[in-house]
Amino acid sequence: MKKMTLLAMALTMYFGIAGATTPGDCCGQGNDTTQTIDDSAAKMVRNQLIGQWQNNTYAANLVASDMEGTFLRYEFARNGSFIKTAGDSQSEEQMRGQWELSNDGHRLMLYPDGCLNPEVIGIKYLDLDELVLEQSPENPDDDINVIVKDVFYNRM
């Protein structure tokens, strides 16, 4: 009986008393902490990204004389929705949908309403009121040689 009690105690200590099912899974941490690190990084990026961001120099497919007053603005809501507004002093167009981040917080996926394939945008820099996204032109002439450029945004 003493052997059974000692064995039970040893197994309890080995697997942990928090309901762990595998060695090293005590307190739900497991042996692999990369998921926890990635999740916390993505949460931090997500919290910083929420709000309105605007670029006043972005002008896809326009000649220099038509660039005056152009802007590209994103609004990321806490509920996962977004509004993308592009325009100039004369008019503007909006796109609405849902957004999410990659597990590592380095890529932003925009799912426009009615679309299953996301627009994937790299997050190059994010700090307080500054955001740099790696974006390609809206309607590239050549899908093979898409040029990705850094687009700078300021928090509104």
Q: Decide if pLDDT at 26 tops 50.
A: no
Say what the pLDDT of residue 108 is.
96
* pLDDT above 70 coverage of the chain, percent: 62
Q: If pLDDT is split at 50, 70 and 90, which confidence band does 38 have?
A: low
Residue 72 and residue 54 in contact, taking contact as beta carbons nearer than 8 Å:
yes
Residue 99 Cα distances to 5, 55, 104, 109, 113, angstroms:
53, 19, 15, 6, 10
Average pLDDT of the segment spanning 104-124: 95
Q: If pLDDT is split at 50, 70 and 90, which confidence band does 79 have?
A: very high
Structural domains of the chain sorted by starting position, each given as residue range(s) with its CATH number in brackets = 35-155 (2.40.128.280)
- Alpha-carbon distance 108 to 60, whole Å? 20
Q: If pLDDT is split at 50, 70 and 90, which confidence band does 19 have?
A: very low
